Amino acid sequence: MATVTPKTANWFTYFPEDYRWSSALGGMLGAAAYGGAEMGEIDRVGRVLKKHVGDDAAWFEQWRAEADRVRRLGEEAERLGRKLTAADAYLRASNYGQMAERFRTPKDNAALETYRQAVESFQRFARLTDRPRIETVEIPYERGSLPAYFVHAQNTDAKRAPCVVFFDGLDITKELQYLRGVPDLVRRGISCLIVDGPGTGEAIRFRGYPVRYDYEVAGTAALEYLLTRADVAPDRIGVMAISLGGYYAPRCASMEPRFKACVAWGAIWDYHATWKRRIDSGFRASMSVPGHHISWILGVDSLEDALKRLEKFRLDGVVQRMRCAFLLTHGAEDEQIPMADAQALFDAVGSTDKTFRVFTAEEGGSQHCQRDNPTIGNTAIFDWLAEKL
């Protein structure tokens, strides 16, 4: 896999010679605001990995070992009846374990077992934490179901609270999504349904659901599930998604008119063109995943077949149908998706109530999906959702 040096010094790069590793470690550090990481634990592993930059096998082994170590801390605390201490450790162990597995494809038994333990660690956290309240739920989908977490709204007396469906991106999962600020969202009186949609998380690893261009099928399934709940306001349901979710969420909101608000946390316009550029460059491009990840989530065996499948992953001709309130956020120095794509998406969206928020290097949040300053990005999004829902 080609190593790409970050193009700018305006964001923290633990591994200055490798964009992918730096973006992953930056994302892990960003989870600290929500209990998902400790700086000392991150640095302990990072110092070892500085001798192995670009070696994904070393990345896997070191982060898996740290996940195991921290999970044991949780198990010992739980044995002693220290539930909150155990919950904190389990949440960090989940983050480290999933980030260990992140770059390991094909997903062999070692990868899948590490991932399974990470999901279990999160569910132990959810069981033991005092707040927010987190339910593990299943969303009926095709002949099976999609795994999800329903995180209950706080600071509200409403019997039926508004709710946001939160889908993953290319390489994110529902557990990692929680650490993108969901605790701050639900503090605003809005529940959140975090979903492993087709192509992500457990949905592809354990249930065999590849990513699909018509993501509104998953979007409608999530909405229909929420309509069965007595604690959700049926007329105040929004949808948001991050990174590649900049395709998923606008697609869902355009094709499913019952969504009342939509957030694209990072733009996608023509995903086929995005990957064509990456492949033509020999993957010498700023990417968050190894190049072969795209073939895996699409369920195909070659990059040629992947490009064929991606031909339908375009939003032109789709988002013109959107009518709900729309927010697009993008970093001014996003190295993965150009600003031109973000502008094209925003201009094409058919909603009359639409907002384009660009984050600059001076204020922070200028990198992909505000990775360099996640709280400035997610609080802007959550405040907007509170106003709209």
Nearest to 218 by CA among 168, 162, 278: 168
Global pTM reads: 0.96
**Is residue 126 located within the same domain as residue 105?**
yes
- φ/ψ bin of 111: left (φ > 0), alpha (ψ from -120 to 50), beta (otherwise): alpha
Q: Indicate which CATH number applies to the domain containing 339.
A: 3.40.50.1820
Q: What is the mean pLDDT of the chain?
A: 96
**Tens digit of each residue's pLDDT (9 = 90 or more) over 13-65:** 899 999 999 999 999 999 999 999 999 999 999 999 999 999 999 999 999 99
Tell me what the mean pLDDT of segment 154-176 comes to: 97
Q: Residue 169 pairs with which residues in a beta bridge? A: none
**Is residue 124 located within the same domain as residue 33?**
yes
Domain-embedded: residue 10:
no
**Is residue 206 located within the same domain as residue 121?**
no
Domain coverage including residue 114: 17-130
**Tens digit of each residue's pLDDT (9 = 90 or more) over 83-141:** 999 999 999 999 999 999 999 988 999 999 999 999 999 999 999 998 899 999 999 99
Domain-embedded: residue 223:
yes
Q: How many domains does the chain have?
A: 2
Nearest to 210 by CA among 142, 282, 272, 273: 142
**Is residue 197 located within the same domain as residue 246?**
yes
**Is residue 27 located within the same domain as residue 139?**
no
Find how far residue 240's CA is from the centre of its chain. Answer: 10
**Tens digit of each residue's pLDDT (9 = 90 or more) over 288-314:** 999 999 999 999 999 999 999 999 999
**Is residue 125 located within the same domain as residue 136?**
no
Helix axes 83-101, 56-79, angle to 10 degrees: 170
Domain-embedded: residue 11:
no
**Is residue 228 located within the same domain as residue 322?**
yes
Domain-embedded: residue 89:
yes
**Is residue 288 located within the same domain as residue 145?**
yes
Q: Which residues contact 109 (CB under 8 A, 6 or more apart)?
A: none
Of the pLDDT bands very low, low, confident and very high (cuts 50, 70, 90), residue 3 is: low
Domain-embedded: residue 319:
yes
Domain-embedded: residue 4:
no
Q: Indicate which CATH number applies to the domain containing 24.
A: 1.20.1440.110
Instruction: Pick the last residue of a domain from 100, 130, 160.
Output: 130
